[in-house]
Amino acid sequence: MTAAASARWRVLILLGSESDLPQIESGVELLRALAIPFRATVASAHRSPERVRQLVMEAEQGGAQVIIAVAGLAAHLAGAVAAQTILPVIGVPAAGSLMGGLDALLSTVQMPRDIPVATVAVGPTGGYNAAVLAAQILALSDKRLENELRERRGAQAQAVEGAARRVEERLAQHSPGAAPHTSP
Ligand code: C2R
């Protein structure tokens, strides 16, 4: 793909391996739901460093605004990407290896000064939050997206209110003497 063609997408997602796909699937769904154009592909700093370099260059030249890198084990991908660009880089440590992904978490988060990687939670929760964070970065200059994210926050708060009511009612039934807490 040429740099010009890459201008269609605003987020580049790099997976260190095809086996990392489950880590980012929910994040990809969110980007779709928010109508954020993205490109997702596989590239490894260890196994295909030249491909990583090429993709980062295309992202920069094509106007992408955020790069998400997903990797497990000795997860150097996000750091290697961050070394080549001043675009914000979000690192998703893949779950499932040493101590559930602690190896990937530390490899991703412990970047030296001046080359940050915004590291999210290990595994699919991190993959989802990477998409949320990317959307929030894009929303700084995109009113439609900003409004959409604010609406989602409102819906989440309402869902918590509903959950609080259900839990309070259920627990009040189990202990008839206790007066249910009433929300303000
Ligand atoms: P395979 O399943 O392909 O053997 O990969 C991948 O992200 C994956 O989680 C096993 C794990 O190796 C990781 N990997 C990295 C990098 N490239 C692949 N951490 C990298 O460049 O950092």
Q: What is the per-residue pLDDT across 134-174, written as a single tens digit (0 to 9) for each?
A: 999 999 999 999 999 999 999 999 999 999 999 999 999 87
| Token pair belonging to 21 | 């796909």
Report the residue among 13, 21, 44 best suited for mutation to probe ligand 1: largest number of ligand atoms under 8 A from its CB: 44
Q: Compute the distance from residue 160 Cα to the ligand 1 centre, in Å.
A: 37
Closest CA to 47 of 19, 26, 5: 19
- Determine if ligand 1 sits within 6 Å of the CB of residue 94: yes
User: What pLDDT does 88 receive?
Assistant: 98
Q: Is the pLDDT of residue 1 over 50?
A: no
CATH 3.40.50.1970 in the chain, residue ranges: 11-141
Q: What is the pTM of this model?
A: 0.91
Q: State the pLDDT confidence band at 8, using cuts at 50, 70 and 90.
A: confident
Q: What is the pLDDT of residue 43?
A: 98
pLDDT of residue 178: 55
Which protein residue has the closest C-alpha to ligand 1 atom 21? 45
pLDDT at 68: 98
Topology of domain 11-141, per CATH?
Answer: Rossmann fold (3.40.50)
Is 78 a pocket residue for ligand 1 (Cβ < 6 Å)? no
Average pLDDT over all residues of the chain: 93
Specify the pLDDT at position 3. Answer: 41
Q: Which of 42, 51, 77, 84 to mutate to test the pocket of ligand 1 (most atoms within 8 A of CB)?
A: 77
- In this predicted structure, the answer to whether residue 4 has a pLDDT above a threshold of 60 is no
Tens of pLDDT, residues 66-78? 999 999 999 999 9
Q: How far apart are CA 169 and CA 172, in angstroms?
A: 5
User: Residue 76's closest CA among 84, 87, 64?
Assistant: 84
Query: For residue 15, is pLDDT > 80?
Result: yes
Q: Is the pLDDT of residue 55 over 50?
A: yes
User: Is the confidence at residue 7, as pLDDT, over 60?
Assistant: no
Report the percentage of the chain scoring pLDDT > 70. Answer: 91
Residue 16 in contact with ligand 1 by CB distance below 6 A: yes
Q: How confident is the model at residue 96 (pLDDT cuts 50, 70, 90)?
A: confident
Q: Starting from the edge strand earliest in sequence, which strands make up the sheet with 118-119, in order?
A: 38-42, 11-15, 66-71, 89-93, 118-119
